[in-house]
């Protein structure tokens, strides 16, 4: 005797079972998350005191100031603008070098298999704390010690970059293949020898590429630091904006955009060459 379930029926001598449809997944959590996000947006919008009636007039105002800045730029200010832009680039370069010198050793010590557990945890917490502070806040803190100088901006860029560059470094180390590391250890190498002969040669192209990318970020940030008195093109831009000399402001913006694009193009080409050379060496080694 065959027992039939509610989803079964007899057909001749065979029993056919009707498949039970799967249970629909619950959308409770996704709905709650959507409600929370919507509430956050509403609260944030309500506390910003936005004058919604002024929004339709903003495109016209922006177009008006663009005309003031770029209709007849004051090209007599170009030599001074180029000099101040050079100071901003110098600030960014010094900050990038200081960042690399400090962050690469610390980042390698923070990688798994290199430093002890207590040191890795301590360093990663320090890096996270540094990343939590924007460059402008770091520069304001340093102003009380170093004063309103471009060196303040360079230090702020260096300190801020340590948190990010160190994170890139230990993540790069941890993503490397383990073959060369195991080979050096099998030959009797200690941690320092493994780092020198296995980890660093494989990670150097990526780390150097990240350092160049950090330099590109520093150039953009150095202009912002100049707005608080750290020197460079940002300080000049803030001064002429306060005095409403829009023809000079237009020249400064043109210089910032053009020079930044040129530096990005050169740095990007160097980074691509470094990474392509690294891949070529890896392929040659595999062959």
16 falls within a domain? no
CATH number at residue 97: 1.10.3720.10
Both structure tokens of 214: 């950090």
CA separation, residue 151 to residues 14, 35, 171 (Å):
88, 47, 30
State residue 12's pLDDT score. Answer: 52
39 falls within a domain? no
36 falls within a domain? no
Q: Is the pTM of this model over 0.95?
A: no
Count the domains in the chain.
1
- Helix, coil or strand: residue 148: coil
State residue 283's pLDDT score. Answer: 47
State residue 14's pLDDT score. Answer: 54
- Helix, coil or strand: residue 16: strand
d(CA 15, CA 17): 7
Range of the domain at 119: 76-286
165 falls within a domain? yes
How many residues can be counted in the chain? Answer: 287
State residue 13's pLDDT score. Answer: 53
13 falls within a domain? no
Task: At 6, give phi and psi (nearest 5°).
Answer: -60, -20
**68: Cβ–Cβ under 8 A, 6 or more apart, which residues?**
246, 247, 250
167 falls within a domain? yes
User: Are 113 and 181 a contacting pair, CB within 8 Å?
Assistant: yes
227 falls within a domain? yes
Block mean pLDDT (10 aa), the chain, length 287: 49 58 75 90 80 80 86 89 91 91 91 87 93 88 81 89 91 84 78 80 87 88 80 86 88 91 89 73 50
User: Are 90 and 230 a contacting pair, CB within 8 Å?
Assistant: no
- Alpha-helical (H) ranges within the chain are 28-47, 58-70, 78-109, 117-131, 135-146, 150-174, 179-186, 191-194, 200-226, 233-242, 246-286
Nearest CA-CA partner of 201 in 177, 171, 165, 185? 177
70 falls within a domain? no
State residue 125's pLDDT score. Answer: 94
d(CA 6, CA 56): 65
User: Are 7 and 18 a contacting pair, CB within 8 Å?
Assistant: yes
């Amino acid at each position: 005797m065959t027992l039939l379930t509610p989803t079964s029926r007899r057909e001749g001598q065979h029993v056919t079972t009707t498949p039970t449809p799967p249970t629909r997944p619950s959308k409770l959590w996704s709905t709650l998350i959507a409600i929370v996000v919507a509430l956050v947006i509403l609260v944030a919008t309500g506390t910003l005191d936005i004058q919604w009636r002024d929004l339709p007039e903003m495109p016209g105002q922006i177009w008006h100031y663009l005309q003031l800045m770029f209709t007849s730029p004051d090209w007599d200010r170009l030599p001074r603008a180029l000099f101040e832009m050079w100071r901003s680039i110098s600030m960014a370069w010094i900050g990038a070098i200081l960042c690399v010198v400090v962050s690469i050793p610390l980042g390698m010590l923070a990688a798994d298999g290199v430093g002890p557990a207590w040191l890795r945890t301590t360093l990663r917490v320090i890096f996270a704390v540094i990343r939590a502070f924007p460059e402008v806040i770091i520069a304001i803190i340093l102003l009380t010690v170093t004063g309103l100088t471009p060196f303040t901006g360079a230090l702020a860029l260096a300190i801020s970059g340590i948190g990010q560059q160190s994170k890139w470094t230990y993540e790069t180390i941890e993503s490397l293949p383990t073959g060369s590391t195991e080979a050096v250890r099998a030959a009797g190498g200690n941690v320092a020898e493994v780092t020198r002969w296995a980890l660093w040669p494989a990670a150097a192209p990526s780390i150097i590429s990240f350092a160049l990318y950090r330099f590109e970020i520093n150039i953009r940030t150095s202009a912002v630091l100049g707005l608080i008195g750290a020197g460079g093109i940002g300080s000049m831009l803030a001064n002429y904006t306060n005095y409403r000399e829009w023809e000079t402001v237009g020249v400064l913006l043109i210089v910032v955009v053009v020079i930044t694009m040129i530096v990005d193009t050169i740095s990007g080409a160097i980074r691509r060459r470094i990474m392509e050379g690294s891949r070529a060496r890896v392929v040659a080694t595999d062959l």
